[in-house]
Structure 1
Amino acid sequence: MTDPQSPLPLERARALPARYYAGDAMLAMEQASVFHRSWQLVAHQGQLAEPGDHVVEEVGGVPVLLVRGQDGVLRAFPNVCRHRAGPLALCNGKGARALHCRYHGWTYTLEGQLRSAPEMQGAADFDVGDIRLPPLRVHAWQGLVFVALHDDVPPFDEVYAGIAERIAPIDLAAMRFHRRDRYDIACNWKVYVDNFLEGYHLPHVHPGLSKVLDYRAYDTVLFPWHSLQHSPLRDSGDLYGEGDAFYYFVYPNIMLNIMPGRLQTNRILPLGPGRCRVEFDYYYAQDDAALARTANDQAFSDEVQAEDIAICEAVQKGLASGFYEAGRLCPKRESGVWHFHNLLRAAYGDA
């Protein structure tokens, strides 16, 4: 029998077996081998514009704090006090002068240096100058902010290589945040990613979306750490305008849906073996044409998302049925799924 962790050529490939979509042990392994060892989208730069602005997030189960220092530098730390693991912040905020542990009041500078520790005078050989928050890797790109928990992640510029150049003249950095939608879905996080990565289901699941995308010209291009699904837009003037649709997936859980004058980012966050949360952030160019389309865009996106939720939850039930064996992939339409599964296989092998 072929080892399911050994990648096969696309023409012979099968999907991942059902057991990879279930179980607490599987998810724990993925948190460590996939989410802890990849660049994770955590904020947009508008949230961190001035010194003391900070964002509280979570990456692979690890609480994370991003903060703009007094020196203007953007930094990230575990949101964990060095005393007894209390939180340094409980929510996003603006203009903080220092980081105060909410448990026992230890205070750090915005640069992570411990400044004061109440009532610790009796502790032998204790010096606040010896204690700093461990820095995490942080990177800003096209107005978005990313964090990596470990040093052994691929270089950021390799992961996102070529995206800004491919979508030109669309300028993502010039777009402004508009709103966030959240959906909690009864499926494994990979089911949602798999679904995003192929247009094979478009004619069967998304009748409305199929009218504005050219299925015959719909193609997928693979890169080392991301994939692109591309289609010309048709008859979508009131919805997206004229141009092209770029659907980027960046391993392991980030999606960039780019249309003329509009960016939608998706973060896929596991909530358990059979549950995930999808966060949609919408950004728009600040011209009249793009802003005029926001209402239609929201209604249409809600329709497409409802269709995706229904099919993903049905697939999760199928995977859990005991009657599914890993099926063959369609070489013409499912190369993005094959690419994602191979990246996962490599991470599982390393683990």
Structure 2
Amino acid sequence: MLPLEQATQLPGPAFTDPAVLDWERANFFSRGWICAGHVDQVSGRGAYIRVETGEENVLVVGDDDGLPRAFLNTCRHRGARLVEEPEGQLRRLQCPYHAWSYGFDGSLKNAPFTEGLTDFDPKCFALHEVRLAVIEGLVLLDLSGEAPPPQAHIGDLATHMAAYRTPELKRARKVVYEVGANWKAIAENYNECLHCPGVHPELNRLSHYLTGETYEGSGLWCGGSMTLSEGVETMSTDGATHARRAIAGVDERVILYFLIFPNTLISLHPDYVMLHTLWPRAVDRTEVVCEWFFEPETMAEPGFDPSDAVDFWDQVNREDWHVCQLTQQGMTSSRFTPGRYTTQEDDVHTFDKMVASRYLEALR
């Protein structure tokens, strides 16, 4: 792996070859830790989210004690999907096809007309469980069951997240985007602000693109900080913190942004936390789930309205998606060759090394 000053970016087929994406789905999204979302969405009995990753569809649901469990979203009778909506609240978990029903611990509770079968043991027909961990409020899944400990995956980033009490935050808003670009193009875009003056002039007024510093530490992540401009309180449509919603105890002048490999973008603001999760749907198409989280006390304030933050980032997101799509389109040229990194793309280089090291391991 060459240092940034000597390195060339990932080759075009990494973004345009469907076979490469198939390999990444099998090796990045099905054999290591991925983020399904935030624990707030599955913290009550029957509260669930459903995620599709690679060839698998996974149901994450709060059990009878309100603790998250994860199962393949597949009935053990004829394989029908148990849940269709992306999230919600279940009173009971019953297959819509032949009414086999399950506990929120995955156990088979009722299978009509199986009483007369020979050697039918309900315990053998529980839902297939998926390994799950919650680290600083992030719900992590390991479909292979063989990934290293989740603490090693998050590493030193947990300390930065802990200051924002991320497990205690509650979701205020969610927006789902369909982006016409490879998931890695979106990740690379997130990891640099070299494009900010031209693409995000409003964002650049709130925080100059050359402020901040790169953070380092153990774990599969990269990122760093941005510093708010003088007179700016937060990143929103007017740059002001509303309804005394600042998160107590954090640096009010700094925003932290981190990518957790492979699919998690988390931004820690003085008054809210923003989470993006990336879900590849095709080599040139990615579903991006963006969610905004605030402290419960803030959301309980009379007149609480997160629209200033949501509207601001919705604009920034759409500006990002546009240039990512332009990049995706340009990479299809028969004459495209990967360019060199600039000195402002340390985090892009770090992310690309995470990707490339796994390519090289497979080739060896």
TM-score where L is the length of structure 1 = 0.89
Q: In the alignment, which residue of structure 1 is the partner of 2:261?
A: 251
Identical pairs, percent: 29
Q: In the alignment, which residue of structure 2 is the partner of 1:230?
A: 225
Measure the CA separation in 1 of the matches of 2:117 and 2:225: 62
Shift of 1:180: 0.6
What secondary structure, in the 3-state scheme, does the structure 2 residue paired with 1:41 have?
strand
**1:8-54 per-position Cα deviation (integer Å, ceiling 9, x unaligned):** 22221111111111132221111101111232222333332332333
Provide structure 2 residue ranges, at least 5 long, that are not aligned to the other structure: 242-251
8 Å CA contact 2:10, 2:356 repeated in 1: no
Q: In the alignment, which residue of structure 1 is the partner of 2:247?
A: none
Provide structure 1 residue ranges, at least 5 long, that are not aligned to the other structure: 1-6
Q: 1:164-183 counterparts in 2 under 5 A?
A: 164-166=158-160, 169-183=163-177
Measure the CA separation in 1 of the matches of 2:132 and 2:161: 24
Work out the number of aligned pairs and report it. Answer: 343
What secondary structure, in the 3-state scheme, does the structure 2 residue paired with 1:312 have?
helix
Q: 1:171-210 counterparts in 2 under 5 A?
A: 171-210=165-204
8 Å CA contact 2:180, 2:325 repeated in 1: yes
Measure the CA separation in 2 of the matches of 1:19 and 1:140: 34
Q: In the alignment, which residue of structure 2 is the partner of 1:337?
A: 348
Pair 315,109 (structure 1): closer, same or farther in 2 beyond 3 Å: same
Pair 110,294 (structure 1): closer, same or farther in 2 beyond 3 Å: closer
The amino acid that maps onto 2:349 is W
Shift of 1:292: 6.1
Shift of 1:166: 2.7
What secondary structure, in the 3-state scheme, does the structure 2 residue paired with 1:217 have?
coil
8 Å CA contact 2:136, 2:162 repeated in 1: no
Q: Which of 41, 49, 58 is the aligned partner of 1:64?
A: 58
When structure 1 is superposed on structure 2, of 307-316 and 124-133 the one drifting more is 124-133
1:303 aligns with 2:315: yes
The amino acid that maps onto 1:236 is V
8 Å CA contact 1:239, 1:293 repeated in 2: no
Q: Which of 138, 141, 147 is the aligned partner of 2:141?
A: 147
1:260 aligns with 2:264: no
The amino acid that maps onto 1:254 is T
What secondary structure, in the 3-state scheme, does the structure 2 residue paired with 1:255 have?
strand
Q: In the alignment, which residue of structure 1 is the partner of 2:246?
A: none
When structure 1 is superposed on structure 2, of 177-186 and 42-51 the one drifting more is 42-51
TM-score where L is the length of structure 2 = 0.86
When structure 1 is superposed on structure 2, of 7-16 and 293-302 the one drifting more is 293-302
When structure 1 is superposed on structure 2, of 287-296 and 160-169 the one drifting more is 287-296
**1:198-246 per-position Cα deviation (integer Å, ceiling 9, x unaligned):** 1222223221111121333332224430012211111322426541011
Pair 56,306 (structure 1): closer, same or farther in 2 beyond 3 Å: closer
Q: Which of 96, 106, 111 is the aligned partner of 2:105?
A: 111
8 Å CA contact 1:40, 1:59 repeated in 2: no
Measure the CA separation in 2 of the matches of 1:56 and 1:47: 11
8 Å CA contact 2:34, 2:261 repeated in 1: no
